[in-house]
Every structure is written in C-alpha cells, then in structure tokens.
Structure 1
C-alpha cells in the first residue's frame, strides 16, 4: 500500500506544529509556576529550556538554507532524524552557560520574583 506523500507531509507538519504549540504552552505554565512560587531553581531551569527551544529553532532555520543533494537523499526519515539531532544539539548547547541567554533571562525575570 502506497501512502500519498502530500497526506504524509501534511500529517508530519501538523504534528510538528502541535508539538511546538504544546512546548510553548508547557513553557508558559512552568514559567508562571516558577514566578508564583518564588522557586529560583525552577526559574533557572525554565530559562535554560527557553534557550534550548530558541537554539533548536535556529538550527532548524539554518538547516533549511542547506541545498538539497549530497550522499543521502531527502526523505521523511532523514527529516525526522535531523529534527531529533537538532533538538539534542540545542539541549547540549544550552547546558552550563550555553550562549548566555538563559542567564540574562534569569537575571531579568528574578528581579520581578
């Protein structure tokens, strides 16, 4: 049975959008919870999570600029692998000091706590 590529692509894009919206909603809830409970560790973890999300979006945008071609042909499996790879690279890059965004956000947001 052959699956229509347009239907599969639509389903993947829809799933990605729902996943991104869910992550944004989760981030908002965690941030509000950290601010209301005056939990510095939770606020700091939330800022690191935001930095990771931003780096992931940056990686995805950068990957879109790469010209198709090369050793491995473009497929849904490759897109899925690259998406997971970008997510893990972003998580690792945001650990410790990361790019410094989490630290700046924490300083700014902790003033209001």
Structure 2
C-alpha cells in the first residue's frame, strides 16, 4: 500500500472517530450544545486568522494585475467562508481545536 493511502485512511479514521465523539454530545442539555457551537466558532475564527496571515505573507507588489479594494474584500470573504467549511463541515471534523476546547471547558469548574 502506498504511503498516500495510509495517510488518507488514517485521516478518514480520525475524522470519523471525531465526528462520532462530537455527535455523542448530550443535545438535551442546551448549555453543552451552545458550548460546542462556541468552540467550533472559535476554531473557525482561528483558522480564518491563520488564512489571513498566510495571504498577507505573499508579496503582491510584483503581481501582473494590481489588487483593488473589491478584490481584497472578496478574498477576505472567501477566506472566512473557507475557514467555516474547513472547521464545521458535514462531519464536524475540523482541526481538533474545538473538540479539545470543549472537553477542557466542560471539565473545568468555571463552566459549571
């Protein structure tokens, strides 16, 4: 089996296990559900900031077509939507930050 197959299999196993663990959240408890949503939104904001910083690191001065205000606004909105899709897709797989935050905040005494 090529290494690429190993990586994709282990990633799909990870996302499936994560989706199952997040789906076990007690949906009857509104506070737990709201906490999970806030953690997922935080992860989305974090990824959006990461994408924005990555985009700023590219030198656009030598670009063939100069960027306009409209282009910058479009890229910003696209990065925001991309961050949401990366973190809160159909399987709630994300990067794992929301899951970790949720587990730690739920266990902390400050949440209770």
Q: Normalising TM by the smaller chain, what interval? A: 0.5 to 0.7
Paired positions, count: 77
Write out per-residue CA displacement over residues 63-96 of structure 1, whole angstroms, 9 at most, x where no aligned residue. 0011214454211001100000000000001111
Counterparts of 1:11-90 in structure 2, within 5 Å, are 39-68=31-60, 69-70=62-63, 72-90=65-83
**Once superposed, what is the RMSD of the aligned Cα atoms?**
1.6
Provide the secondary structure at the position in 1 that maps to 2:66: coil
Whole-Å separation in 2 of the counterparts to 1:73 and 1:88: 24
Higher helix share goes to which structure?
A: 1
Q: How many angstroms apart in 2 are the aligned matches of 1:77 and 1:97?
A: 32
Query: What SS is found at the alignment partner of 1:39?
Result: helix
Residues in 2 aligned to 1:98 and 1:70: alpha-carbon distance in whole angstroms = 33
Unaligned 5+ segments in structure 2 are 1-28
